Amino acid sequence: MSLLSLNRTMNHAHHVYRERRDALLKKMREHAGGGVALVPTAPEVARNRDSLFPFRHDSYFYYLSGFPEPEAVVALVADPDGDRHVLFCRDKNEEREIWDGFRYGPDLEVLTPVELRERIAATARQVVAQYGS
């Protein structure tokens, strides 16, 4: 791992994105009594067999998260027990970073796509049980 990737941080005001997420959670509570919002970013698009078009994030996703990578989802949970902001993203992969560039990766845990779907489904079931369909 290079020294550059060890010290890499997103260079912007994180509080702006947190305020935007908090405003959306407040609206969710006002209009529906709570709930879950899942906002994915745009996928990478292949140009040909071994190269991709330059990545362009989904505007809604970036507005809420400020996260610049593909294959990510921000989950916002408006819950009476407390709001949660969860960012699901690609794991660190030093081999892919050689070819594709730096990846932030998750700080706490890595979920496979199957685990991610199961976690999202479990959260959705909890919300439906609590708030109804």
The least confident of 25-29, 62-66, 114-118, 121-125 is 114-118
Please name which of 65, 78, 74 lies closest in space to residue 40, comparing C-alpha atoms: 74
Q: Residue 74 pairs with which residues in a beta bridge?
A: 39, 87
Segment (H or E) for 18: helix 14-32
Q: pLDDT class for 1, splitting at 50, 70, 90?
A: very low
Phi, psi of 108, rounded to the nearest 5 degrees? -105, -50
**pTM confidence score:** 0.69
- CA pair distance 96, 94, nearest whole angstrom: 6
- At 15-61, the pLDDT tens digits run 898 999 999 999 999 998 889 999 999 988 989 988 889 889 999 99
Asked if 73 and 38 touch (Cβ cutoff 8 Å), the reply is yes
CATH superfamily for 3-131 is Creatinase/prolidase N-terminal domain (3.40.350.10)
